[in-house]
Amino acid sequence: MECVLEVAGLRKSFRPGLLKPRIEAVRGVSFAVAPGECFGLLGQNGAGKTTTIKVATGLLRPDAGRATLLGRPCGDATARRALGFLPENPYFHEHLTPREGLQVYGRLNGLDAATIAARSPALLGRVGLADAADRRLKGFSKGMRQRFGLAASLLHEPELLILDEPLTGLDPGGRMLVKELIVEQRQLGRTVVLCSHVLADVEELCDRVVVLHRGQVVREGTITELLSSAPRSYELCAQDLPAALAARIAAQAVRCHRAGETLTARFAGDRLGPELAAEVHREGGRLLSLTPERESLEEWFVRLVRSEAPVEPSPPAAAPPALVEAGR
Amino acid sequence: MRDRVVVLARATFVEAMRDRMLLVVALFALGMVLFSRVLGWLSIEDELKMVQDFSLSGISCLALFLAMLVGAFSVAKEVERRTLYPLLSRDLTRGEFVVGKYLGLVFATWSCLAGAGIALLLWVAVWGGHPGEALLAALLGLLCESLLLVAVALFLGMLTAPAIAALGTCGFALAARSTEALRELASSGRADNAGFWSFAYQLLPNTEDVNFINATTTGLPIHWEQLLMGAAAMALWSTVFVGGAVVLFKRREF
């Protein structure tokens, strides 16, 4: 099965100033995106996400390695015909109206004027810009620009949609809309690459993720695989506990708080919670709930990033294979 | 390819024409055309010749200002505002981008110059003059010159910071109007390498070939074939500079 987007041994460095040493933004990144999946590209600010995306969209040339879109090099303009791209904080020609803008972007993707005119009203309506279709983009808010950017990236019905931080700066309605659109695209069989550091959204939308850290891939896998190694915990909520038992629970909990007669405590691991719940029963307390909990992607990510030791930059010529530990 | 270039040229044209800055510069040129009548009244010679001469000089300055403004700053503005991203991530090559941008800017410049030119023709007619072929040739010559100046500004804009590119364009415009000096140097016999200066004169762009402003006051006959040849030379040089801009733009990363 041909990958929609394939990045192999990608390296990219920049020189921040004339006399300053080069900074390696991306160091041997490799991953492949299969057709129809929603793929997440995770990482902190400066992890190399946007640089990788820019190479994939032909805005940057790699120092080493390759990036292909449907088997063709990303630098090839015809390969980008199948690509819809929403950059981070998108800006457009401000004196054009959304209707005119869609004509420009659609024509650049090979659509004829009649097709664009037929698709535009529904698309602008879908992103909530039907009333602003003939207003210049100059007066648009960040959220409205983002919505227009989505419309422009969807107009030619691309096979691959790359969204760089599409939910940043949007109001709750806008966020909901973007999520709905991503789900719709997936239902239509299209591939989505979501680049974000809003991990709750990635967890909600993506099938598979790659985690970048300091320009390298440090984890890759499905959300379930990645979180399977995450520590489990239990949250116990009980009332009317004898003082000695309450003290014992508080001593063993990783987090504990009391509100009136109700005590809520969280225990690491999957053994301590049920044991203490049984003890609550035995000693005449009232067990309100015992909830098994899994670490969220956000908690997992923060733990991962904190545990990753700083890596010294390696020379750009050598391209070691990316450190990929799937499902660890 | 042609379609994508036309689409981008049209978008660039619309974007430039709706920019308030362009309107301000065009209004300034219009003001100079209207003000020229005052100088005509003060003139001891033919009043309308003074109107034409001063107005055409004003329009010539407009051509230079517009080239500096739209050519030198346009790509830098696209990079700074990141409006490039949604364009270059599509089925558009960098060469098509530069050519489309150039054509759009040229048409925007020509529209402003044509507006100022029509205002001048009407102004001359209002004061009882008959706009002759010299005036028409001078206006066409300015259009040809702007073709080259926008290309130079675009090229320099790819090479360096926009403010420096604008200054460079201004310097180029002055130099390209002074190449006659090279011919005089070669023919005067005072220079050691007369052949070299003669060759340089033949080679370098000479916007005097399309400058017919003096003809409106001197009354000398217009040689249309000279304008045609000059226009061809401007088009050729423009192609060279736009080609250079394409090469530079292909090397850039965003």
Q: Please give the pLDDT value at position A315.
A: 42
Q: Please give the pLDDT value at position A309.
A: 53
The pLDDT of residue A116 is above 90: yes
Smallest CA–CA distance, residue A212 to chain B, in Å, is 21
The pLDDT of residue A189 is above 60: yes
Mean pLDDT on A226-255? 85
Q: Please give the pLDDT value at position B135.
A: 87
Mean pLDDT on A159-166? 93
B3 close contact with A: CB closer than 8 A = yes
A200 close contact with B: CB closer than 8 A = no
Sheet with A191-196, side-by-side order of all strands: A83-86, A160-164, A191-196, A38-43, A208-213, A216-222
The pLDDT of residue A318 is above 90: no
| Among A286, A306, A304, CA closest to A295 | A304
Contact A156, A111 (CB under 8 A): yes
Q: Which of B85, B94, B246, B253 to mutate to test the interface with A (most CBs of A within 10 A)?
A: B85
CA distance A62 to B166: 32
Q: How many CB atoms lie within 10 A of CB A171?
A: 11
Cα A99 versus chain centre, distance: 30
Mean pLDDT on A5-9? 93
Which segments of chain B have a pLDDT < 50? Answer: none
CA distance A155 to A110: 11
As a 3-state breakdown, chain A gives helix, strand, coil percent values, each rounded to 5, of: 35, 30, 35
Give the domain ranges of chain B: 2-163+207-251
Three-state secondary structure along A167-203? CCCCCHHHHHHHHHHHHHHHHCCCEEEEEECCHHHHH
Mean pLDDT on A66-79? 87
Q: Which of A26, A107, A111 to mutate to test the interface with B (most CBs of B within 10 A)?
A: A107
Q: Please give the pLDDT value at position A311.
A: 44
Q: Please give the pLDDT value at position A197.
A: 76
CA distance A184 to A154: 11
Contact A85, B85 (CB under 8 A): yes
| Among B242, B78, B95, B69, CA closest to B155 | B242
For chain A, percent of residues with pLDDT exceeding 90: 46
B-proximal residues of A, 91-130, CB under 8 Å: 91-96, 100, 103-105, 107-110
CA distance A111 to A95: 22
The shortest CB-CB distance from B83 to any of A80, A92, A107 is to: A92
Check A107 against B81: CB less than 8 A apart: no
- Under the banding of pLDDT at 50, 70 and 90, the label for residue A269 is confident
A72 close contact with B: CB closer than 8 A = no
pLDDT tens-digit series, residues A80-107: 888 999 998 889 998 999 999 999 999 9
**CA nearest B81 in A: which residue?**
A91
The shortest CB-CB distance from A96 to any of B14, B88, B89 is to: B14
Q: Give the gyration radius of chain B's Cα atoms.
A: 19
Give the CA angle between residues B148, B156, B4 to the nearest 5°: 70
Contact A43, A212 (CB under 8 A): yes
H-helix or E-strand containing B156? helix B133-159
B208 close contact with A: CB closer than 8 A = no
A12 close contact with B: CB closer than 8 A = no
Check A80 against B3: CB less than 8 A apart: no
Angle of helix A98-108 relative to helix B2-17, nearest 10 degrees?
160
Mean pLDDT on A152-176? 90
Q: Which of B21, B78, B89 to mutate to test the interface with A (most CBs of A within 10 A)?
A: B89
Task: Look up tokens 């991203």; give the residue.
Answer: B85
CA distance B224 to B210: 10
Q: Please give the pLDDT value at position A232.
A: 75
The shortest CB-CB distance from A105 to any of B82, B86, B254 is to: B86
Mean pLDDT on A217-235? 81
| Among B186, B151, B191, CA closest to B172 | B151
B18 close contact with A: CB closer than 8 A = yes
Q: Please give the pLDDT value at position A326.
A: 39
CA distance B52 to B45: 13
- Under the banding of pLDDT at 50, 70 and 90, the label for residue A328 is very low
Q: Please give the pLDDT value at position B208.
A: 86
Write the ipTM: 0.83
Q: Please give the pLDDT value at position A29.
A: 94
CA distance A97 to A93: 9
Q: Please give the pLDDT value at position B3.
A: 87
Contact A233, A266 (CB under 8 A): yes
- Under the banding of pLDDT at 50, 70 and 90, the label for residue A316 is very low
CA distance A103 to A120: 8
In chain A, which residues have their Cβ closer than 8 Å to the Cβ of B10? 104
Chain A and chain B share a number of CB contacts under 8 A equal to 82
Please provide the size of chain A in residues: 328
Of B207 and A307, the one with more pLDDT? B207
Q: Please give the pLDDT value at position A229.
A: 67
Bridge partner residues of B220 (DSSP): none
